[in-house]
Amino acid sequence: MRVLIVKTSSMGDIVHALPAASDMARAMPGIRIDWLVEQSFASIPAHHPAVARVIPLQWRKWRKRLLSADSMTALRDFKAQLTLQPYDLVIDMQGLIKSALFACLAHGPRGGWNWSSAREPMVSLLYQRKANAPWSAHAVHRCRTMVAQLLDYALPATPPDFGLQPGAATWLPEGRQPFSVLVPCASRPEKLWPEADWTALARHLKSLGQQVVVLWGSPAEHERAQRIVQASCAVVPPFLSVEQAMQLMAQAQTVVGLDTGLTHIAAALGRPTLGIYCDYEPGLAGVTGSGPVISLGGKRQIPTRADVMAALARLQTTAA
C-alpha cells in the first residue's frame, strides 16, 4: 500500500504528526509512506525511518509572486514530482483548504477530517474518507486517531513513537561539559517570555556546571539571543538548520523553550524538556516525548521565573 501524508507546516505540527507514521508502519507492514512538506521543514519527516520519500514544496515563497515565470515553472516541476505515482490514499492531516488543494493534485482517493473535526470545515467536502476526533484532544492523539480511522486499524494504546533519528551533530559547544539548550524564540510576540527571566535561567544553569546554548533562527532572534548571552556568559551558535538543531538537541542534558517547533523536536527526541506556554493551552499541544517533559503556563497564564525554576528542578530530578 502507498500512502501520501500532507502535513506541510508548521514545524511543531509536523512533529506532532510523526507518531502517526510510526503507527502506520507497525499496523501495516510493507506500507510505503511519502510526505508532502514545506522545504524548510523537510528534514523532520526525512529523519523518520518509516518515511520513504519526502516531497518538498515552497508555497510560502511561490505565493509571493505566484504568476511570475519562476513560480509557474517551480509549480509545474512540483506537480510532476507529486504525480510520479498514484496513491492508495492521500491523507490531508493539515485540514485546511490550502492543504486539501495540494492533496487534490496527487493521484488517489483523499482522506481527512469530517466537518466537525476540521479547522476549516468546508474542506471535508473534498475527502472521500473522513475521520473524527474531539478538539479537546492533544494534537498527537488527533493525528494518530485520524490515520487509524482512515486506514481501519485499532488505535494503538502505546505511547507515541516519534521515530526521529537525526544522526551525528555537525556543531556542538566547545569543551566536554554537559550542556543545556534554551529556545527563547517564537512565531508571535504573545508567546515570548521576558528576556530578564531567560538571562536568570541561563545563569542558574551555568551555576550548576552546565554550558548553555541559546538558539535563534532570524536576525531579530539572533539579537535577542545575544542580549541573553551577554548577561549570562552563555553561547550563541552560528545559524543552525533544522537538521543541525535536531542533532544538537539530541545531545542536550536539558532543553527549555517556548511553544515553538524546536522545543517540540527536543521532546520528540526524548530529551528532558520544559515547555513555557504564554499564549496557548498546553493540553492541546503540550510537549510530548519518551523522556521527562513539563508544559508550564497557558493562555494568558505567563509562568513566573520562580515557576520555571521550580519546574526545572523537578525535571532535572526526574531525569537524573
Over 90: is that where the pLDDT of 137 sits?
A: yes
Contact between 18 and 164 under an 8 Å Cβ cutoff? The reply is: yes
Assess if residue 171 is contained within a domain. Answer: no
Do 82 and 202 fall into the same domain? no
* Number of structural domains in the chain: 2
Residue 60 maps to which CATH number? 3.40.50.2000
Is residue 13 assigned to a domain?
A: yes
Do 98 and 183 have their domain in common? no
Mean pLDDT of the chain: 96
Let me know whether 144 and 19 are in one domain: yes
Q: Is residue 147 assigned to a domain?
A: yes
147 and 6 belong to one structural domain: yes
Do 189 and 80 share a domain, yes or no? no
Domain that holds residue 196: 179-319
Mean pLDDT of 242-266: 98
Q: Mean per-residue pLDDT for 93-98? A: 96
Domain end marker among 133, 151, 169:
151
Q: Quick check: is 169 in a domain?
A: no
Q: How confident is the model at residue 68 (pLDDT cuts 50, 70, 90)?
A: confident
37 and 135 in a single domain? The answer is yes
Q: Above 80 in pLDDT, residue 39?
A: yes
132 and 186, same domain (yes or no): no
Residue 38 lies in a domain: yes
**pTM score, two decimals?**
0.96
Residue 156 located in a structural domain: no
Judge if 199 and 287 occupy the same domain: yes
Residue 216 and residue 147 share a domain: no
160 falls within a domain: no
Q: Are residues 189 and 131 in the same domain?
A: no
The last residue of a domain, from among 132, 151, 170: 151
pLDDT band at 59 (very low <50, low <70, confident <90, very high): confident
Residue 139 lies in a domain: yes
| Residue range 148-163, pLDDT digits in tens | 999 999 999 999 999 9
Is there a single domain that holds both residue 195 and residue 315? Answer: yes
